[in-house]
Structure 1
Amino acid sequence: MQIKENILLLGGNGFIGKNIIAYFKKNNSFLNYHIIVLSRKFQHKRDVDIFYEVGDYANKEILDALFSKWNFTKVFHCATSTTPLSSGNNILNDINGNLLATICLLDVMKEYGCNYILYLSSGGAVYGEKHLNTISEKEICDPVSSYGVVKLTIENYLRLYQKQYGINYLILRVANPFGKFHTSEKQGVINIAIRRALKNEIIEVWGDGTQSKDYLFVDDLVKIIFRFLKQGVVNKTINVGSGEIHQLNRILNTIKIYLPILEVDYIASKITDVKDFCLDISLMQSLLNFEFTQFEEAIRKTILFEKKRLN
């Protein structure tokens, strides 16, 4: 009989976290794992077979109680309390709520012998404006927001804890994800544009819409995460994106094919927004052979999700 492993999922009530839970539940390859979600907010609609705990992962007493109860072997860290834009409003809150909270988590992991953490970093924010065709993991990072600085600093502490305490990490620098279970009105232009069109509202676009970025369908992201988990990939920092760029105006025109009512208001760009980037995914491709969902098909599926959510 195979012993089940317990995974602590931070950010399980968020966009990517909910997709991780959905994939986990429908994939029989991971029946030997239990997922326990720690969330700062109570989740009224809960998934069967997923355990939910309410609390802040910055609170050591809460973490002590959870690690004592569940004996976690892995942590999936998908949580963040800020966005690139909001992080500059109160940098101390960004540091306390994300950086120091993660160090608290790492100390508890060390204390209880949990030696694996998956961390979702940012494929745009940590690099900053690079003006390169593609950005590899070897590029020097130069963030333009507190959000990016904190993400990068957490990465460095993960490497430090691996060297000093043997806690294995997997850092994924993720491109702009979109797809089902997205709810934010502050980040994620594809979902927000679709939602605005369905509500007959105007979408605000920073700049003139010519900015081109790497976008990743969240279904693909989650499949990649679990492929890495299954293959036992550790102690690497990996770009996870589509390896392709899509100009925002062209994305909006694609959405208009399905939702002609979409209206756009172009406003001044924000200094915290990385305007153009495409991730070099050569390392990711060397580790797994992956076939991405076609971009227009991903857009269509996202529209179907947003329609269902509003009905």
Structure 2
Amino acid sequence: MSKDILVTGGAGFIGLNFVYYLLKNTSYNITIIDSLTYASHPKEIFKLISDSRIRFIKGNITNDKDLQIAMDRKYEGIIHFAAESHVDKSIENADDFIQTNIVGTYRLLQYLLKGYAKKMIHISTDEVYGTLKLNQSPFTEETPISPNNPYSATKASSDLLVRSYYETFKLPLIITRCSNNFGPFQHREKFIPTIIYSALHNKKVPVYGDGMQVRDWLFVEDHCRAIFLIFEKGTLGEVYNIGGGNEKSNLSMVKQILNLMGKPDSLIEYVEDRKGHDRRYAIDSTKLQRELGWVQTSLWDQALEDTVDWHIKTFKEHSL
């Protein structure tokens, strides 16, 4: 008999990639709950629901009536992706971030407390750790939480809620914190898709400040494999960092993508830096590698080239 898994935010970037990973590599029946915000992929969901293993619920995890629809069975696990994630939007107005990231997580914890799932994996971000100087060692699971923008503050808040429910109620919970993801289905507002879209249309590519902010890039397929490995073998109550080991400055990323697309560096336009812009992120994945045996399988240059090709094709199709 097939077992059930619940994926929150399964119509978004990483969640959708994870759903495809489950379909390809497991026999789970998959329930997706997603409110289908601007950053989701309803066309992909429409394709997916023809699969007998997929059930889709259009619902908001902050709404208990929506969650009641999903909680009509016991799940082997909840993989909790659903979140507002765009830093610039959180700076403009953090209301949705507080509701989805904090209140939504609380609602799920209440259902876990009632026994509706055997465990929950809470997907978080390296941004909860704050920023690093160029000479500092990468973030480990022991690095203190020190968020510097409203988005990361709401994710840190949800992490602390999850931790408290593990400590207080001994609920079966695990937290993962990943570095910057890239790959198919990422929304155009994000850094890499913005570069590709702008360059494709010969528009200026905006670069914040001096462009020397450093990010650690993780291919989404490697991330999905890590999450499933943690779901299957991770120790309850633990935090696992998932990093790409690919530290790149924003400016070097822009130039590499422009080069792949055969576009000139003259498209680069330096703009006023983002408020509270963290200078560097870097994740140490040693714990995940040592304890669970996770290894990356993607090659940086090939993964980036595939990502650029996917976005170019998608942008062209949408313009038809």
TM-score normalised by structure 2 residue count: 0.88
Contact 1:242 1:292 in 2 (8 A): no
Aligned residue identity for 1:285: Q
Counterpart of 2:19 in structure 1 is 21
1:206 equivalenced with 2:204 (yes/no): no
> C-alpha distance in 1, partners of 2:91/2:256?
33
Aligned residue identity for 1:280: D
Counterpart of 1:100 in structure 2 is 103
Gaps of 5+ in 2: none
Counterpart of 1:8 in structure 2 is 6
TM-score normalised by structure 1 residue count: 0.90
CA RMSD of aligned residues (A): 1.9
> C-alpha distance in 2, partners of 1:230/1:134?
26
SS in 2 for 1:9: strand
Aligned-pair distance for 1:232? 4.2
Q: 1:34 aligns with which of 29, 35, 38?
A: 29
> C-alpha distance in 2, partners of 1:82/1:134?
22
Counterpart of 1:259 in structure 2 is 261
Aligned residue identity for 1:10: T
What does the per-residue CA deviation read over 1:41-96, in whole Å, with 9 as the maximum and x for residues that have no partner?
Answer: 293423123110111111112212321x2322311111112422222333344222
Aligned-pair distance for 1:308? 2.2
Aligned-pair distance for 1:260? 2.3
Q: Map of 1:217-256 to 2, 5 A cutoff?
A: 217-256=219-258
Aligned-pair distance for 1:221? 0.8
Q: Map of 1:115-126 to 2, 5 A cutoff?
A: 115-123=118-126, 125-126=127-128
Counterpart of 2:154 in structure 1 is 150
> C-alpha distance in 2, partners of 1:180/1:157?
31
> C-alpha distance in 1, partners of 2:170/2:5?
18
Percent of pairs with identical residues: 24
1:298 equivalenced with 2:307 (yes/no): no
What does the per-residue CA deviation read over 1:186-241, in whole Å, with 9 as the maximum and x for residues that have no partner?
Answer: x2x12321222223222211111122210111111111112222324432111111
Q: 1:308 aligns with which of 304, 310, 313?
A: 313
What does the per-residue CA deviation read over 1:18-57, in whole Å, with 9 as the maximum and x for residues that have no partner?
Answer: 1011111222xx21x1111111129342312311011111
SS in 2 for 1:112: coil
Counterpart of 2:90 in structure 1 is 87
Aligned-pair distance for 1:169? 1.6
Q: 1:50 aligns with which of 45, 54, 63?
A: 54
Number of matched pairs: 302
> C-alpha distance in 2, partners of 1:234/1:103?
18
Q: 1:74 aligns with which of 77, 81, 105?
A: 77
Aligned residue identity for 1:205: V
Aligned-pair distance for 1:300? 0.7
SS in 1 for 2:156: helix
Structure 1 segments of 4+ aligned residues over 4 angstroms from their partners: none
Gaps of 5+ in 1: none
* Structure-2 change in CA distance of 1:183 and 1:198 (3 Å): same
